Amino acid sequence: MPHDTATIRIEVPVLETGRLILREPRRTDWDAVRDFGMSERTSFIGGPFKEWQAWSTLLSPIGHWLIRGYGMWTVEEKSTGRVAGRIGVINHIDWPEPELGWQIFSGFEGKGLAYEGAVAARDHAQGEMGFAPLISQIHADNTRSRRLAERMGAVIESEGVVRDTPCLIYRHKAVPA
């Protein structure tokens, strides 16, 4: 058996929207994840990263699904099959509570894909997964993410700190059952 073949299996629900498939992270996502991770687009989440750090960001969502039972989905554009980003629910050891987060990769911004995917993830998390209304921790200068949270109906609940960096904590609205 090759050394890079997984032997542990986890079940990640697949979500579909009009233009997107939200699916499990895969080894074949590496090129897109590396390009994003090493770009300036990661400046609000601790990047740009070195290649080895970007590799860790490919692996981390897999472990999150395994340990927590939820995590970030890989966002795949239906029409092209290309990896457009990652969206999901994360709760790292130093997070105050589960967070709805999103990362849209270069070339896919400005098309409403983040909104479409984030709404699907939020609705699934609050419905099928049983989460209460989630937070999103957003750097005050990250205007695109702030606009997205507000477009989804989230409101600033408080100020917080994520890994020594101040942020705004948005609370998402409750989704009707």
Domains, the chain, in order of start with CATH, read 15-132 (3.40.630.30)
Q: Does residue 91 or residue 53 have the better pLDDT? A: 91
Arithmetic mean of pLDDT over the chain: 88
Range with lowest mean pLDDT among 22-26, 35-39, 70-74:
35-39
Question: Residue 145 pLDDT > 60, yes or no?
Answer: yes
Q: Which whole number is the average pLDDT over 86-94?
A: 94
Higher pLDDT, 86 or 34: 86
Give 167's contacts (C-beta < 8 A, 6+ positions apart): 137, 138, 139, 140, 159, 160, 161
pLDDT of 90 reads 94
pLDDT of residue 1: 45
DSSP 104: E
CA angle 34, 105, 90 (to 5 degrees): 80
How many Å separate Cα 103 from the centre of its chain?
6
Q: pLDDT digit string (tens) for 158-168? A: 999 988 999 99
Q: Does 23 score more than 60 pLDDT? A: yes
